[in-house]
Structure 1
Amino acid sequence: MDNINTSTAKSPNPSLNTYSRMATLILASFSVIVAWVVWRITRNLFIRSPLDNVPGPSSGSYIKGHLPQLFAVDGWEFINRLGTKYNKVVKLNGLMGHRMLYVFDPTALHQIIIKDSEVYENPEWSLESMRMTMGPGLLGVHGARHRKQRKMLNPVFSIKHMRSMTPLFYGIANKMVTGIGREVGNDQATVNILDWFGRTALELIGQCGLGTSLDTLEEPEPNPLGDAVKEFLPAAFTMSEFQFLLKYAKNFGPGWFRAALLDILPVPGLQRIKGLVNKIASESVNVLTQKRAALKAGDEVLLKQVGEGKDIMSILLRANMAASEEDRLPDDELLGQMCLLVLAGTDTTSNAMTTMMDLLARNVAIQDKLRAEIVEAQAQYGSEIPYDELVALPYMDAICRETLRLYPPGMMIWREAQKDNMLQLSQPIIGVDGKTVNEIFIPAGTSIMVAIRAVNRDRSIWGDDALEFKPERWLSPLPPSVTEARIPGVYSNLMTFNGGGRACIGFKFSQLEMKVVLTTLISKFKVSLAENADEVEWNASAVRYPSVGKSGGRPEYPIKLKRIRV
């Protein structure tokens, strides 16, 4: 009896103890955060920095700095002003007075991306954000771990492998055109082309990336992984500013404490993203398990699977099984690559293709010239133009390059100085103090925005017509102002796919996807603007996307398609 009374006295109501612990956790978290915020504000307010001599716009908010303007869906005026009013290096403010630089000077970018890349690493908050959403895949790790993963992945994104997968690309593109054809009927109709391109990109990643179908491109059918991927980026758009808090998360106690805090934060958008991430991770485990079983069963079983064993994950798993122990990737990193493929390889390409449709609808002469080139090639090689001949079509290639120059899906990437560094400039700037500045001292911890859109549109590099959509610029040798700028991008003197050791590993996949879809669609339909085209808004975000009516609305793009009579 004494034991029972003692036990009861210790815990008269377990639920009250739970609420008490939760209240204590919330109170402790609030106290730590308030104290830390006060310290950060005081520190940044009273300590001068060498970066204060770099010109930049005034900040309306000391707490949020320029982040609300950088991440406003209708923030194009501010973003464009950064690329035209200032001379290639701009000082901005982040949370609580944190100094940042917006950089599009080619010499500085070469130093950041290539020459001193070990100094300018991906910021920890960015890596943490990627690990939280995609796992420890290529975008969520750095250093030796990143190089090891990239070495394993490089062969599956080679030209040789793209060539072998081209028939799969055409098969999916033809299913897309058949589906669109049902919607268009015998004459013409307005369709949501962004939805079709998004579904097509998802199925291409499914079949060619994972070896599984994520969207049949017929009547919509429930698919847990495909549905979660479609919901993810629209949900993430609403939480862009939140990720910057991850920069300071390590200040808020040990990992278990931060995880518990994340679970109880009453932020609906954050909890929705968590749910989608868990669903994507769970379904990815199922796909990986099935893929391993097929590989063990042998080639006969593998050939019967979606992708016929040519998909990226099948080849990666084979290579991983054959690798030495020290080179082999653990399961969490394999799953990270799967999440990376589906999350990073869908909206980027589908929005780029939608941009292309918009430009072709507004430039009928360019559209007609492209169609003539496609039809001529199809007459020579058949409706499915082989890989080498397809990528060599000059006008199509020029349209792709010009679209990605003017309208890169992602506007910027982030780096953070790991130690003090002197950043060199191609052209001097005039400091706030009125003196000429040829180099800038970068204190450790400085956040750098590599301004992709700004360098791609820089008039001093691309000429006075830099803001014009002009595919012809790629049909003759580029001017010395471009070639001598030494822009460190991996693709065509552009920063669209980044450069150096962290360049987009899938840019050849993306290029093939664009060209196959463009070939298949433009040979069957004429493209023109829908009646409500003037209501379309292009939203600034992690991936630029269109909506109808108001900024930040549901991603969609209506376009009019008319059948071509042969």
Structure 2
Amino acid sequence: MDLSQNNYCGRDIWLTFKDLCLTGPLPGSTTCVSVLILTSLYLLRVYRRRQRTTRIRGPQSPSWVYGFAKTALDSTVTTELYEHWAKEYGPVYKVPHVLGQSRVILWDPKAISHFFARDTWFYNQTPFSKISIEIAVGRGVMWADGESHKRQRKTLNPAFGAAAVRSLTSIFQNIAHKAVIAWDAEIGSNSGNDCAVIDVQQWMNHISLDSAGIAILSHDFGALDGSDCDAAHVLHVLGSFTGVSHILVFLAQRFPSILKLPLPRSQYSKKLNLILGKICEEMLLRTRKEKETGGADQGDKSCLGLLLKAEESGEGAGLTPQEVLAQAQIILLGGSETTAVSMTWAFIELARNPDMQTKLRDECLEFGSTPSYDDLMNKLPYLNAVVNEILRLHASVTEILRVTTQEDVIPLSEPMRTDAGNSTDNVCIPKGTEVLIPLAALNCSVSMWGPDAKLFKPSRWLKEDEGTHETKETLHDYRRLMTFGNGARMCPGRLFALTEFKAVLFVLVRHFVFEMADGPGVQIVKSLGFLPRPSVVGSSVAGCSVPLRVRRYEV
């Protein structure tokens, strides 16, 4: 506790106490007085902090032990609750969490903008997140805060700019064509039928892993070729792993050191870390040797080349060898896992909505030639609309959680009522407060997207439909789409992910027609794995998470 930062009266008392201490050993009576002074200062500081802190309203806790943590496991219910609570308690409210803790939820656009402007500086990763990230991918840009994050992010940005991603587009297209060949063969081997039931989720995992491996590390995992790939196996287990007790997860959020225990999920995370670490290290060593012998292009603009260039610039301005390795692992994971989930959702929604699937196919077929990066971004409006709608409705990352490093005053776009009954246009929260941005809930908010916010409706992104919901402009600062976050921590690989997503969808939808294998009314749920992956309830196909009936498109 830094008592010297207290109010003027408290500071004067503190300085007097300091002078007494410097005069030498204190007699017993003076020691008692000193203890009283310190206690008074502490109580005064606590009192003044409570006076400044805004008394925020929120729902009553259903359980001191769990709060609403158990409810949060059901993302559908939580999405509805976040908006309901915002209407009832105001655009900034608190929700009880585990062991008597609470989290402040930001729903107000101005408050969210303020949060993102201060992310990594005034708002840091929670201790739980820090340990989780370190176990999974090391101390890279996802783990870092403040100046360290700024330095690491600066070295990564060029690898994901338009110029860098433009050169990777053909890789994504080639990978998609490999899937076309494999699916054609599977349909052909299914004698007597013109279709085959394919686990689309598993195939999207393979497509995204091979794409990320080649585009980022020049390493072909061979997942599409049926190679026995350890990385693919561990990623699959992590993605669908539900063997961890929820009680342990809840306790770990209060006592993060629990994550360091040899829990099954932590063990798989460490195994994946070792697998990817070995691959990344081999690629880095090979590239370094090529540079030393003049065999590598000194102007290499690939992700790997840029990371090495950052390493060569020195530990102060660039990246340390450990950070280079961590970045490569983060990029590989982020570039494969999240995109695989999004592409899986795309084929589910297209199978559920055959008219929209036909409209998308017609646009892709009419385009004719293989689209370039610029074509994918600017000349296929319905493809862009479908992709944006998937990212809106099925965000891979559902929320952002941070902890305040100091007291902060958050501005509001309009006044709200406090628990004391007062009206305020800002909210003061103390140091150590956990603050949450509910990305998925904001993406599906009726108040921001209109009454059809929960529906899959790509046309909302087209020009002819832009003016139908004026409330969309509420989050205009975030391009209306919260999936990639914003501010200093906005996803650095968003162009990479968008390009891969569009390239794969363009190729596959031209060649195949997709239907739900167990009928259009089959229930889809989100698993509680590494990311909220979709899975079909009661699938009739053993081992398939998302079985779709896939048939060749005949012109």
* Pair 1:565-2:554 in alignment: yes
Give me the identity figure in percent.
29
2:460 to 465, 473, 493: 473
Q: Deviations over 1:85-144 (max 9, x none)?
A: 433333112232112112222111001011576222222331232122111111011111
* Pair 1:317-2:308 in alignment: yes
Quote the residue 2:44 is aligned against. Answer: none
Quote the residue 1:98 is aligned against. Answer: 101
Q: Distance in 2 between matches of 1:347 and 1:57?
A: 34
With over 3 angstroms needed to count, the CA separation of the structure-2 counterparts of 1:233 and 1:395, relative to structure 1, is same
- Partner amino acid for 1:227? H
Kept in 2, the 8 Å contact 1:237–1:541? The answer is no
Quote the residue 1:485 is aligned against. Answer: 474
Kept in 2, the 8 Å contact 1:110–1:487? The answer is no
Kept in 1, the 8 Å contact 2:123–2:402? The answer is yes
Kept in 2, the 8 Å contact 1:125–1:245? The answer is no
Q: Distance in 1 between matches of 2:53 and 2:197?
A: 51
Q: Distance in 2 between matches of 1:246 and 1:90?
A: 24
With over 3 angstroms needed to count, the CA separation of the structure-2 counterparts of 1:49 and 1:248, relative to structure 1, is farther
- Partner amino acid for 1:390? L
Kept in 1, the 8 Å contact 2:140–2:323? The answer is yes
Q: Distance in 1 between matches of 2:528 and 2:481?
A: 20
* Pair 1:391-2:362 in alignment: no
- Consecutive unaligned residues of structure 1, counting only runs of 5 or more, are 1-46, 251-257
With over 3 angstroms needed to count, the CA separation of the structure-2 counterparts of 1:374 and 1:438, relative to structure 1, is same
SS of residue matched to 1:345: helix
* Pair 1:424-2:411 in alignment: yes
Q: Distance in 1 between matches of 2:81 and 2:259?
A: 36
Mapping for residues 339-488 of structure 1, pairs under 5 Å: 339-378=329-368, 382=369, 384-392=370-378, 393-476=380-463, 478-479=466-467, 481-482=470-471, 484-488=473-477
Q: Deviations over 1:363-410 (max 9, x none)?
A: 2221111111111112xxx2x211111211111111111121122111
Q: Distance in 2 between matches of 1:266 and 1:517?
A: 38
With over 3 angstroms needed to count, the CA separation of the structure-2 counterparts of 1:247 and 1:166, relative to structure 1, is same
With over 3 angstroms needed to count, the CA separation of the structure-2 counterparts of 1:444 and 1:554, relative to structure 1, is farther
Between stretches 165-174 and 114-123, larger displacement belongs to 114-123
- Partner amino acid for 1:438? D
With over 3 angstroms needed to count, the CA separation of the structure-2 counterparts of 1:112 and 1:367, relative to structure 1, is same
Q: Distance in 2 between matches of 1:156 and 1:266?
A: 35
Q: Distance in 1 between matches of 2:286 and 2:246?
A: 34
* Pair 1:141-2:144 in alignment: yes
- Partner amino acid for 1:366? M
Measure how far apart 1:240 and its partner are.
7.2
Measure how far apart 1:564 and its partner are.
1.1
With over 3 angstroms needed to count, the CA separation of the structure-2 counterparts of 1:61 and 1:213, relative to structure 1, is same
Quote the residue 1:281 is aligned against. Answer: 277
Quote the residue 1:158 is aligned against. Answer: 161
Measure how far apart 1:506 and its partner are.
0.1
Measure how far apart 1:537 and its partner are.
1.9
2:205 to 184, 198, 209: 198
Q: Distance in 1 between matches of 2:434 and 2:320?
A: 31
Quote the residue 1:548 is aligned against. Answer: 536
Kept in 1, the 8 Å contact 2:124–2:403? The answer is yes
Quote the residue 2:195 is aligned against. Answer: 188
Measure how far apart 1:188 and its partner are.
1.1
SS of residue matched to 2:86: coil
With over 3 angstroms needed to count, the CA separation of the structure-2 counterparts of 1:237 and 1:110, relative to structure 1, is farther
Quote the residue 1:81 is aligned against. Answer: 81
Q: Distance in 2 between matches of 1:227 and 1:363?
A: 32
With over 3 angstroms needed to count, the CA separation of the structure-2 counterparts of 1:165 and 1:272, relative to structure 1, is closer
What's the RMSD between the two structures over aligned residues? 3.2
Quote the residue 1:68 is aligned against. Answer: 70
Kept in 1, the 8 Å contact 2:364–2:506? The answer is yes
With over 3 angstroms needed to count, the CA separation of the structure-2 counterparts of 1:426 and 1:248, relative to structure 1, is same
Kept in 2, the 8 Å contact 1:237–1:542? The answer is no
- Partner amino acid for 1:132? I
- Partner amino acid for 2:345? T
Quote the residue 1:210 is aligned against. Answer: 217
Q: Deviations over 1:260-286 (max 9, x none)?
A: x877x4644434433443343344333
Quote the residue 2:289 is aligned against. Answer: 293
Q: Distance in 2 between matches of 1:197 and 1:347?
A: 9
| TM-score, length of structure 1 as denominator length | 0.79
- Partner amino acid for 1:81? L
- Partner amino acid for 1:56? G
- Partner amino acid for 1:196? W
SS of residue matched to 2:525: strand
Quote the residue 2:233 is aligned against. Answer: 227
Quote the residue 2:3 is aligned against. Answer: none
- Partner amino acid for 1:199? H
How many equivalent pairs are there? 495
Measure how far apart 1:466 and its partner are.
1.9
With over 3 angstroms needed to count, the CA separation of the structure-2 counterparts of 1:132 and 1:270, relative to structure 1, is closer
* Pair 1:328-2:323 in alignment: no
Kept in 2, the 8 Å contact 1:228–1:279? The answer is no
Measure how far apart 1:319 and its partner are.
4.8
Quote the residue 2:127 is aligned against. Answer: 124
Q: Distance in 2 between matches of 1:285 and 1:555?
A: 34
- Partner amino acid for 1:537? V
Q: Distance in 2 between matches of 1:63 and 1:368?
A: 50
Kept in 1, the 8 Å contact 2:103–2:434? The answer is yes
With over 3 angstroms needed to count, the CA separation of the structure-2 counterparts of 1:146 and 1:162, relative to structure 1, is same
Measure how far apart 1:450 and its partner are.
0.7
- Consecutive unaligned residues of structure 2, counting only runs of 5 or more, are 1-48
Q: Distance in 2 between matches of 1:409 and 1:538?
A: 11
- Partner amino acid for 2:355? A
Q: Distance in 1 between matches of 2:119 and 2:552?
A: 53
Measure how far apart 1:353 and its partner are.
1.0
Measure how far apart 1:181 and its partner are.
1.8
